[in-house]
Chains A and B, each alone.
Chain A
């Protein structure tokens, strides 16, 4: 019973860690220009890093 809980807990921690790390890494200024004209009309992901 403990093993599946440990596996899921470690995967959840991995996701949270990767999300926080990704959030910390800023999109370089030169890259931001590339996505200025993107219209995110078909996607409703609230955590998308491209949303302004």
Chain B
């Protein structure tokens, strides 16, 4: 496994196949938690954190349990349960250990249970990376790398979108366009801009 492969996986997941603008996953927090940059950064950090751990666990579960016992068809329901449990454990761990982490991630963690971007990445790892011949550790490393890239891509878009929304709040927008309508127009333009990156790799 070469460095180029991992770099390609990160750039591809972050920019070219951006989880929000190209795959339209995680649109709920994209619109709901992007009014302030600070909230967007907190949510992005929480998503990155859970996405990486969830990818490692779901890939392992699929490779070592679901595939081995011939039950890959229950992967979706199994992944949902794993992600929901993981969020509970992470929240509990943070409550007990770190005040600063709780301050930045705590309120966003329950939201992640219903974030389809996490499930989308876990399913995508199985569809795009996993093969029965790929060695476990290579696949796991690639899955985690993809999750890091996807999480960073999520954060990049959340931060950019929240910054634009903050500026829009302070600008003179026609009353009919204020709030959600102008935000959706901005999201559409951002999506078109990212479409220009398709085909780079």
Contacts and interface: CB of A to CB of B under 8 A. Distances in A.
A24 to B, nearest CB: 9
A7 B73 CA distance: 12
Which bucket holds chain B's interface residue count?
20 to 34
Contacts of A12: 81
Interface stretch (B15-23, B91-99, B193-201): B91-99
Interface string A32-52: 001100101111010111100
Contact of B106 (A26, A34, A42, A43): A34
B69 interface: yes
B85 A18 contact: yes
A11 B86 CA distance: 11
Interface in B43-84: 65-66, 69-71, 73-74, 77-78, 81-82, 84
Interface of B: 28-29, 31-33, 65-66, 69-71, 73-74, 77-78, 81-82, 84-85, 88-89, 91-92, 95-96, 99, 102-103, 106-107, 110-111, 113-114
Interface of A: 3-4, 7-8, 11-12, 14-15, 18-19, 21-22, 25-28, 30-31, 34-35, 38, 40-43, 45, 47-50
30 contacts: A3-B69, A3-B70, A3-B71, A7-B66, A7-B71, A7-B78, A8-B74, A8-B77, A15-B81, A15-B85, A18-B88, A18-B89, A21-B88, A21-B92, A22-B89, A25-B96, A34-B99, A34-B103, A34-B106, A35-B107, A43-B32, A43-B111, A45-B110, A45-B113, A45-B114, A47-B110, A49-B91, A49-B110, A50-B106, A50-B110
